[in-house]
Structure formats: structure tokens, C-alpha cells
Structure 1
Amino acid sequence: MHFKELMRSRYAVRAYHENKVDQTLIKQVANAGRLAPSAANHQPWKFIAIDNEDLLNKIRGAYPREWFQKVPNLIVVYGNHAESWKRSFDGKDHCDIDVALAIDHMTLAATELGLGTCWVCHFNPEIVNGALQPEKGWEPIAIVAIGYPVEIKAPEKKRKSIDEVLSFNKW
């Protein structure tokens, strides 16, 4: 798929068919995240793919929305602030930025594979950590819902105009 078409096709899917996504496809999606750039190439991320129904149900409890309870697969994306690059001038931590880049790569790869995704940040991290028992220092940054979308066609994107977000040589 041409990149411009891919960008237009990706949207936050909130209705999925019940079919599980094959682990081979999940691995391709995660690999796209692995290949994302990160500050100073620190790669402070881990991707935990969830397709086990008991574990899915536990993690679904972290975000009690009706549509989320029916998602067939999840990828929990963790970041580690101790492993991420910090800007020397002010200590700005780039962990969340790096993880966001990885997730963006994953959502675009999933779209190219005919899968739908929804990037979820509003969840209870204690429930997620209780289910997955991560190593010390790892924070769940986001959950990526992934599956076969009921609707194939992306809705019209509502975005600011380019003139509202871009200027040259001045604020």
C-alpha cells in the first residue's frame, strides 16, 4: 500500500470480528515497532502480545468499555524510563516519545496487513501489571487493541488544516 493511502486508511477501530489474529501477523506488527527509531537508539520498549482468553479478560478489566471487551488480541506496550535517553540540557526523558513512535509503526503495519488497531492510553495500569507481572522499572504506556475490523473503510479524518499547524521561520 502506498504510504499516503496507508495514512488515510488507518483509524481507531472499535468494532472487531471475533477471529483471533495469527501469531505470525502479530509478530510482523511487533517487528514494525521494533524497527521504529528511538532517541540515541536506546529502544526502551517491550511488546507483550496477548491472545490467551483468561489473560485478555484480566487486561480488559483495566479499560471497562463495551467495545474493548470484545477485542480478540491486545499488545501491551511497556516503556522503561531507566533505559531511555535523556536530553543533557534539561533531562527531558524520551521514553514516551520512543514508545509512541513504535506504536505508530505497529498501527501502520497492522493496517497494511488488513488489521485494525486502537491505541488505548486510558486504562488502569495496576490491573495490567497485576495480570502481566512485569520486571521492575517497566511501565505500561499503552495498550494496542488489534484484530480484524468490522468496518473496512476509514471514516473521514477530522484534522486541522496545514496552515493551522505549520509555519515557516516564525511562530
Structure 2
Amino acid sequence: MDFLQLAKKRHSVRKFSNQKIEKEKLDLILEAGRIAPTAANYQPQRILVLDSEESLEKLKACTPCHFHAPLALLVCYDTSASWKRSYDNEDTGITDASIVATQMILQATEAGIGCTWVAHFDPQLIRTSFGLPDYLVPVALIPMGYPAVDSAPNQTHENRFSLNRTVFFNSFDGISKGKPSEK
């Protein structure tokens, strides 16, 4: 499958079967995250695999968006390891963790595993529930598993602006505001 086909095929899966993800497929997904580019190659990503009943129950207390997935990845970054921009000390950890998460999501899709990016969680509850030290910042939860038979993309999945609404050459003249549903 070429990249654009893969990117178009990927959608947020919110309904999963009970089938467990095979270790080989999970290893492939985690490897895709491991090789992701990060600022200065500092690799500050820290990923917690939540696959035990106990961990998945804890997760349910932290977010309504667990979707009863048989596994979830908690993607964090280590502030003591992330690169900081010299001009303003901007921490690139959230960007690095986001790139890592995106590569894992795309690899999951190619492997036939459904998932979704979840940012709707209580970060403090995540910290205490999973014993995160202060220097780890949770960025994303990725519930994943085999999609349920009746799983389907959200009705707005294919709503996209045209390129001339999101891409500009040399200046932002004529930029407009709004979400895809406000075309």
C-alpha cells in the first residue's frame, strides 16, 4: 500500500473486538515509534503499554475515551531528555511524542490494527494512576485493537479543506478561519 492510501485508510476506531493484538504486531508498532524522528535525535519518548486488566481498569477512571480497547499505549515524553530550542527554550517533547504516536498509528493501520488518538484524559489522574514521575509528560493515549465488525469511520472523516485553504506560498494573504464543517 502506498503512503497516501495508508493515510486515507486510517481512521479513528472507537469500537473494538475482544481479539488480542499479537506480540509480533505490537512489536512492529512499537518499532515504528522507536525509529521516529525526534529533535536532535534525543528520543525523549516514553511509552507505557497498558494491556493488563488492572491497567485497563485504571485507564477507564482517567478517560471516558478508552473505548474498551484490549490495549492502550500511553505516549509521554521525558522533559529531562527532550531538546529545548535555544531562542526561547521551547520544549520539543510534545512534538517528538506526537511524531512517535503518529508513526505508531500508521503502522498499526498497515498491520490491520485499529486505534485512535485520545487527548481527552485527566493528566494528573494518569500521573497518579500509573506512577509517572514529574519529568514525564503524558501527551496521548492510543487505545488499539482489532476493529469490531460494525466499526466504521466517523461521518466527518473525509471532510477536508482543499489545499488552497490550508497551504500558502510566501505569505498568509487571504487566510480564512474555520473548521472543515464550516466550509
In structure 2, the partner of 1:143 is 141
Alignment of 1:109-128 (within 5 A): 109-128=107-126
Q: Which 4+ residue blocks in structure 1 deviate beyond 4 angstroms?
A: 151-156
Q: Partner of 2:61 in structure 1?
A: 61
- Give unmatched runs, 5+ long, in structure 2: 173-183
Could you say which structure has the larger radius of gyration? 2
**2:46·2:76 contact (CA, 8 Å) conserved in 1?**
yes
Q: How far 1:69 moved relative to its partner? A: 4.6
TM-score normalised per structure 2: 0.86
What residue number does 1:40 align with? Answer: 40
Q: Quick check: 1:59–1:127 contact (8 Å CA) kept in 2? A: no
Contact 1:58–1:127 (Cα < 8 Å) also in 2: no
TM-score, normalization by structure 1: 0.92
Q: Cα deviation per residue 1:99-150 (whole Å; 9 max; x = unaligned)?
A: 0000000000000000111111110123222232134411211111110112
CA distance in 2, matches of 1:62, 1:144: 13
Quick one: which amino acid aligns to residue 56 of structure 1? L
The one-character-per-residue Cα deviations of 1:41-63 (angstroms, maximum 9, x if unpaired) are 11111111111011111112101
Compute the displacement of 1:37 (Å). Answer: 0.5
Structure 1 runs not aligned, ≥5 long? none
RMSD of aligned residue pairs (Cα, Å): 1.6
Write the letter of the residue equivalent to 1:2. D
Find the aligned partners of 1:90 and 1:131 in 2 and give their Cα distance.
33
Matches within 5 A, 1:1-171: 1-65=1-65, 68-150=66-148, 151=150, 154=153, 156-171=157-172
What is the percentage of aligned positions where both structures have the same residue? 31
Separation in 2, partners of 1:112, 1:64: 27
Sort the Cα spacing of 1:157 and 1:167 in 2 relative to 1 into closer, same or farther, 3 A.
same
Contact 2:16 2:151 in 1 (8 A): no
Separation in structure 2 between the aligned mates of residue 16 and residue 76 of structure 1, nearest angstrom: 18
Deviates more, 1:17-26 or 1:137-146: 17-26
